[in-house]
Chain A
Amino acid sequence: MNEVNRDLLLRRHMEGPIVSPIVHVCCRGLAPFIQITGLYVFFHGHYSPGGGFQGGVLLAASIIMLRMSLGLADSQRIMPNRLPIPLAALGALIYAGTGLLAMLWGGSYLDYSFLPLPMLDPAMLRYVGILVIELGVTICVMSTLISIYDNLLGS
């Protein structure tokens, strides 16, 4: 009984959407608002609670919610199955690359005031640098959580 139930749930997840229209409409309507909240949390992470990690988890939650409600096949257009692992590598690369760039231009690791952007004073450079770091953290956390979800379902 349990095996049959599990196989049915997995097959429904693999093939098609969940048939309840209420779940369908609610999840599709709610996802953009969660994504906007995630972007807000990411962009305002310097001077208010939040930051890259929380914004990334919120973005991942919206996409996981779409995966659960629409099924794997229909959610491929939003986030293809092969994308999360390269995106996670890209996020880690952005983080480490920003630090190493500051190191190459004469500062210490992750010292944003040495970033090679002309016409910006050091305070503005720190502002931009922490934003780039948060961007890397956001991408990495989001795609790692999505890939954990995909791997748990064995797809």
Chain B
Amino acid sequence: MLPWLIEVILFTVLIVAALVALGLRNLLAAVVTLNIFSFMSATIMVKLGAIDVAFTEAVVGAGAVGVINILAILLTSRKSAD
């Protein structure tokens, strides 16, 4: 198994998730896609050996920021206007 192949897969999923999150009109789905982005970035940190950074990214990016984004959607509009 090639050692860099898993990083290529992770980076592909990361970039695809970021592009999908930019293009989605449904903001709730965009938040979920951003959580996928955050989780993939945490996994890349694990692969690079930075366990502490990966832990922070997983806890903050996929936990707290997701909740706060969902709250912001609750307070404004569900659909993107542009």
Contacts and interface: CB of A to CB of B under 8 A. Distances in A.
A57 B68 contact: no
A142 B5 CA distance: 38
User: What bracket does the count of chain A residues touching chain B fall in?
Assistant: 20 to 34
A125 interface: no
A4 to B, nearest CB: 12
Contacts of B54: 49
Interface of B: 51-52, 54-56, 59-60, 63-64, 67-68, 71-72, 74-75, 77-78
B67 A57 contact: no
B55 A152 contact: no
Contact of A6 (B60, B67, B74): B74
Contact of B77 (A2, A57, A149): A2
B55 A54 contact: yes
Interface of A is mostly: helix
Contact of B60 (A5, A57, A68): A57
Interface of B is mostly: helix
Interface in A1-55: 2, 5-6, 9-10, 41, 49-51, 53-54
A149 B68 contact: yes
A51 B56 CA distance: 9
A148 B59 CA distance: 17
B55 A64 contact: no
Interface string A39-79: 00100000001110110011011001000100000000000
Contact of A153 (B64, B71, B77, B78): B71
Nearest to A53: B56
Given A9-B74, A152-B72, A50 B67 contact: no
A149 B54 CA distance: 24
Nearest to A2: B77
Interface string A112-155: 00000000000000000000000000000000010011001100
